[in-house]
Chain A
Amino acid sequence: MSEPVRRIKAPVRFEYTVQAGKTLSRFLAGLVEGRILGRRCPSCHKVYVPPRGACPTCALPPGDEVEVKDTGTVTTFCVVNVPFEGQTMKLPYVYAAVLLDGADIPMLHLVNAPADEARMGMRVRAEWAAPGQRKPTLESIQWFSPTGEPDAPFESYQEHL
Chain B
Amino acid sequence: MPRDVAIASFASLVEPRFDGDEVEVLAPVIGEALRAARLERRDVGFTVSGSCDYLGGRPFSFVMALDAVGAWPPIRESHVEMDGAWALYEAWVALQHGDIDVALVYAFGRSTQGNLYEVLSAQLDPYTVAPLGIDARSMAALQARAMLDAKRCTERDMAAVAARSRGGDVEALLAAPYVASPLRAHDCGPAYDAVAAVVLVAGDRAKQCCDRPAWIRGIDHRIEPHALGTRDLARSPSVELAGERAGVRKAPVDVAEIDAPFSHQEILVRSALGLGPTTRVNPSGGSLAAWPYIVSGLLRLGEAARAIHTGKARRAVAHATSGPCLQQNLVCVMEASDG
Contact = CB atoms under 8 A, between A and B. Distances in A.
A60 interface: yes
Nearest to A9: B131
B119 A55 contact: no
B57 A59 contact: no
Contacts of B27: 53-54, 59-61
Interface stretch (B64-72, B146-154, B263-271): B64-72
A2 interface: no
B155 interface: no
Contacts of A17: 113-114
B118 interface: yes
Contacts of A18: 56-58, 113
Interface string A27-65: 000000000000000000000000011111111110000
Interface residues of A, number: 24
Contact of B67 (A14, A20, A22, A55): A55
A19 interface: yes
Contacts of A12: 122, 130
B70 A57 contact: yes
Consensus secondary structure, chain A interface:
loop
Interface stretch (B17-25, B198-206, B316-324): B17-25
Interface string B1-31: 0000000000000000011111110111011
Interface string B190-222: 000000000000000000000000000000000
B157 to A, nearest CB: 34
Given A53-B27, A54-B27, A56-B70, A14 B114 contact: yes
A8 interface: yes
B24 A23 contact: yes
A10 B127 CA distance: 8
A56 B114 contact: no
A68 interface: no
B127 A24 contact: no
B67 A54 contact: yes
Given A22-B20, A23-B24, A53-B20, A10 B67 contact: no
A3 interface: no
Query: Which of A12, A22, A54, A58 has the most chain B CB atoms closer than 10 A to its own CB?
Result: A54
A24 B21 CA distance: 9
Given A56-B70, A56-B71, A59-B41, A22 B24 contact: yes
B59 interface: no
A16 interface: yes
Contact of B68 (A8, A14, A20, A54): A54
Interface of B: 18-24, 26-28, 30-31, 41, 54, 56-58, 66-72, 113-115, 118-119, 122, 126-127, 130-131
Q: Which 9 A-B pairs have CB atoms at the shortest separation, nearest pair first?
A: A21-B21, A59-B70, A53-B23, A53-B24, A16-B57, A56-B67, A54-B27, A57-B72, A16-B114
16 contacts: A8-B127, A10-B126, A14-B54, A14-B57, A14-B122, A16-B56, A17-B113, A21-B22, A22-B19, A53-B23, A54-B68, A56-B66, A57-B72, A59-B67, A59-B68, A61-B24
